Amino acid sequence: MHNVHKLIVLCLVVGAYSDEHNHIYGDNEEVILWMNTVGPYHNRQETYAYFSLPFCVGSKDTINHYHETLSEALQGVELEFSGIDIEFKSNVQKGEYCAVQLNEDKYKVFVYAVKNHYWYQMYIDDLPIWGVVGEIKDNNYYIWTHKKFEIGYNGKQIIDVNLTSEDKVLLTPNVKLSFTYEVIWKPTETKFEDRFDKYLDYNFFQHRIHWFSIFNSFMMVIFLVGLVSMILMRTLRKDYARYSKDEDIDDMERDLGDEYGWKQVHGDVFRPASNSLVFSSLIGAGHQVTTVVFCVIVFAILGELYTERGSLLSTAIFVYAITSPINGYFGGSLYARMGGKLWIRQMTVSAFMLPAFVCGTAFFINFIAIYYHASRAIPFGTMVAVTCICLFIILPLTLVGTVLGRNLAGQPDYPCRINAVPRPIPEKKWFMEPGVIILMGGILPFASIFIEMYFIFTSFWAYKIYYVYGFMLLVFIILMIVTVCVTIVCTYFLLNAEDYRWQWTSFLAAASTSAYVYIYAIYYFFFKTKMYGLFQTAFYFGYMALFSGALGIMCGTVGYVGTSVFVRKIYSTVKID
């Protein structure tokens, strides 16, 4: 019933206030001040609905609550109408809009909020506005009661809003707080397209460090690409050398192990990976994640998505849903090539692996959020919507992809035959063990991205608007190249030690990047943030686990795909005796 109600409200909102969406206002047209959330300044993701504090609502009554989109609900946006009367280009003298009679409880709540440096967020015409609740002075708690809005306009559009809090009142039980506001409209020359510029922190994002890190990673790419092409050329050249009896053995060769080490395992390299069902599902999901990340970054560059609430997440959900066939295609075809028969089970695992991971974490955090009454608690209707997307969009599309993949690319076409009996894996030095190689594999990819990680974490946890998606795209591409090169080198060492279990090793060697990212996230939590409390800690580590997990699957897949091209290439030159 509640949800139906919400839906009707939502339709009304869309019908009645379309000027919020085209951002065009006529003179004296209503401008809505939406109250969003309130929360501790140092815990910026811990937010509660504005009216969870005993603030009062103005006398103007309109719709009081709505979640416009799925992603706004997921991100804890809680827009509620303030009841404050604002009209386009019409100044309002200072005057009371409502009053609160404090009792013991309300007094305590306000004191708590002021003590924890609570601040609140509002929206006018999609522009965020922040204000602090109160101030502590000499162990006395004061609350700001006057809001002065200075709104800049250009033609029929709102360009910027400045809020000044005035009139401190000492909080004492049983006092009556009178909340006042005033509105001053000022013409400005700034263009509508540039109105978000004042929220962007150029000094932070365009810092020399940022450019320097990109340059650094770029150098690493050149070095690694050089290394890989050298390995590739040497392995291929040696074949010619064998025919022409042209002996030119250099020192590198002895260091890299037995001369023909990797050729010994030609009868086993294309043996299906162990747990091929899980493996192919991971690879399928990885293809999808990689595509989604790439598309979202490109859309963010083209569409300046940061100017609209929640649009980045909406785009991500949408792109994720429609790219499900990619998951099915690559996962299903790989599973078929590995001779798997349980293809329906594989498809289900593949389709629901990430959604389950995300929902599981979200569910866990949700319980804590509900306990704290935080606005991060996901409404029931939203959960139903997410489940429907999974069942009725993602699953059928994955099925389509799987069927296509199995039929179009399901035949194994390996350059070498697979021996009937697996070859025993010889003893080798400790640093050639897959476990060690996996741990080493993540270091360079992590090194190429960790400065960008700092910027991404900071924008997410400290409310800086991330807008340098061009940088992000560059880092993404660099990460992909570094990951592929590193896994190729790792696999080359592994195969030279006559260990043919390269599929999982290459996947995990690349995926271990995410372990380093998570360790970095732990460091970031303790040294760069001032978060506290169970809710915030669970929220931070839960979402960081999601982020690292997705990153790991993405890197792992890219590493595996690059390596399988490499393996195919070098073994296609082997003459089978």
Ligand X SMILES: *[C@@H]1O[C@H](CO)[C@@H](O)[C@H](O)[C@H]1NC(C)=O
Enumerate binding residues for ligand X (CB under 6 A). 150-152, 160, 162, 186
Distance in Å, CB of 201 to ligand X, minimum: 14
* Distance in angstroms (rounded) separating the CA atoms of residues 65 and 82: 10
Between residues 149 and 516, which has the closer beta carbon with respect to ligand X? Answer: 149
CB 128, min distance to ligand X, A: 14
CA separation for the pair 98, 181 (Å, rounded): 10
Q: Give the residue with the Cβ less far from ligand X, 160 or 499.
A: 160
> Amino acid letter at 457?
F
Closest CB to ligand X among residues 190, 348: 190
In the complex, least distance from residue 160 CB atom to ligand X, rounded to whole angstroms: 5
Residue among 38, 141, 151 at smallest CA distance from 84: 151
Minimal distance, residue 42 CB to ligand X, in Å: 24
Residue 382: count other Cβ atoms within 10 Å of its Cβ: 18
CA nearest neighbour of 33 among 20, 23, 44: 20
Give me the least distance between CB of 199 and ligand X, in Å please. 12
**399 touches 347 (CB < 8 A):** yes
**Whole-angstrom Cα distance, residue 367 to residue 378?**
9
Please state the closest distance from residue 19 (CB atom) to ligand X, in A: 20
Residue at shortest CB range from ligand X: 152
Q: Which is nearer to ligand X, 187 or 412 (CB)?
A: 187
90 near 28, Cβ under 8 Å?
A: yes
According to DSSP, the residues that pair with 160 across neighbouring strands are 152
Closest approach of Cβ 180 to ligand X, in Å? 19
* 101 bridge partner residues: 176
Q: Which residues, 6 or more positions from 513, have their beta carbon under 8 angstroms from its beta carbon?
A: 441, 442, 445, 446, 449, 479, 483, 551, 552, 555
Please say which residue, 159 or 377, places its beta carbon nearer to ligand X. Answer: 159
Nearer of residues 44 and 195 to ligand X, judged by Cβ: 195
Choose between 144 and 560: whose C-beta lies nearer to ligand X. 144
CB of 206 to ligand X, least distance (A): 20
Q: Which is nearer to ligand X, 150 or 167 (CB)?
A: 150
- Quote the least distance from Cβ 161 to ligand X, whole Å: 7
Q: What is the DSSP letter of 182?
A: E
Strand 140-154 and strand 176-187: pairing? parallel
Q: Which residues pair with 100 in a beta bridge?
A: 177
**Number of other residues whose CB lies within 10 A of the CB of residue 135:** 14
Picking from 69, 22, 78, the residue whose alpha carbon sits closest to that of residue 50 is 78
Minimum gap (Å) between residue 131 Cβ and ligand X: 14
Task: Using the CB atoms, write b or e for 535-569: b if 16+ within 10 Å.
Answer: bbebbbbbbbebbbbbbbbbbbbbbbbbbbebbee
Q: Which amino acid is at 90?
A: S
Residue whose C-alpha is closest to residue 405's, from 325, 338, 339 = 325
Contacts of 453 (CB under 8 A, 6+ apart): 517, 520
Pairing of strands 65-66, 118-124: unpaired
CA angle at residue 219 from 216 to 225, to 5 degrees?
140
Q: How many helices (H) and strands (E) does the chain have?
A: 19, 11
Comparing CA positions, the residue from 173, 177, 97, 101 lying closest to residue 133 is 177
Placement of tokens 């349980």 in the chain? 342
Please say which residue, 151 or 292, places its beta carbon nearer to ligand X.
151
Nearer to ligand X (CB atom), residue 163 or residue 389: 163
**For the CA atoms of 24, 26, 29, 35, what is the dihedral angle to 10 degrees?**
20
Minimum separation from the CB atom of position 198 to ligand X (A): 7
Question: Please, which residue, 185 or 493, has the CB nearer to ligand X?
Answer: 185
- Shortest separation between residue 121's beta carbon and ligand X, angstroms: 17
Contact (Cβ atoms closer than 8 angstroms) between residue 33 and residue 63 = no
- In the DSSP assignment, the letter for residue 54 is S
Minimum CB–partner distance for residue 84 and ligand X (Å): 17
What is the C-alpha to C-alpha distance for residues 246 and 242, in angstroms, rounded to an integer?
7
Alpha carbon distances (Å) from 332 to 415, 560, 568? 21, 16, 20
State the minimum distance, in angstroms, from the CB of residue 114 to ligand X.
25
Our CB check for ligand X shows the closer of 156 and 428 to be 156
State the DSSP H helix or E strand holding residue 538, giving kind and residue range, or none if neither. Answer: helix 534-571
The smaller minimum CB distance to ligand X, of residues 150 and 304, is found at 150
State which residue, 51 or 119, has the beta carbon closest to ligand X. 119
